[in-house]
Amino acid sequence: MILEFLTVGVILSAFLAVYLDDAVYSVAALSGTLILMAVLYSLNDAIFVAVFQLAIGVGTLAVLFLSGEMLSEKPEKKISLKGLAVAVGAALLLSVPSIFPSIEIAKAGLSSDVSFPKALWNLRAIDVVLQGLVIMTVAVGIAIVLHEKKGEE
């Protein structure tokens, strides 16, 4: 039952990270997503993946918090509670399949003797490399913007 609640939390915080207009709130929601993902990994006995997820998440969030605070303009309008409630409702609706797993999942071509952590590392190798590339690109882009902004002053 705890896995279902964590899954709903991941989907809800990821949805809010995309929906919220203020950069700081959006990054805070993204941090919730990354932390909950690390907890999910650790509950599935993938401790090294959880630590790796947290390490990448902390670096990413530090860069995004600093750049979001320095570079983004504060939104003029306030977030309406009705709009936020609709967004949360939509995220909860998207997470319904994780709450009620009555849909039978087709078996992959993996044998049953493969553990979750081993399958995770073998199947997500390209994903981890691409995630690192995206983080590096964001950091370089923010450094360029900050350098240009410093040159204007």
For 60-98, b/e burial (b = at least 16 CB within 10 A) is bbebbbebbeeeeeeeeeeeeeeeeeebeeebeeebeee
Contacts of 21 (CB under 8 A, 6+ apart): 75, 77, 79
pLDDT in tens, 107-120: 555 455 667 667 76
| Domain range summary for the chain, segments of one domain joined by + | 2-152
pLDDT in tens, 42-51: 888 878 778 8
Q: Which of the two residues, 136 and 78, has the higher pLDDT score?
A: 136
Q: What is the pTM of this model?
A: 0.61
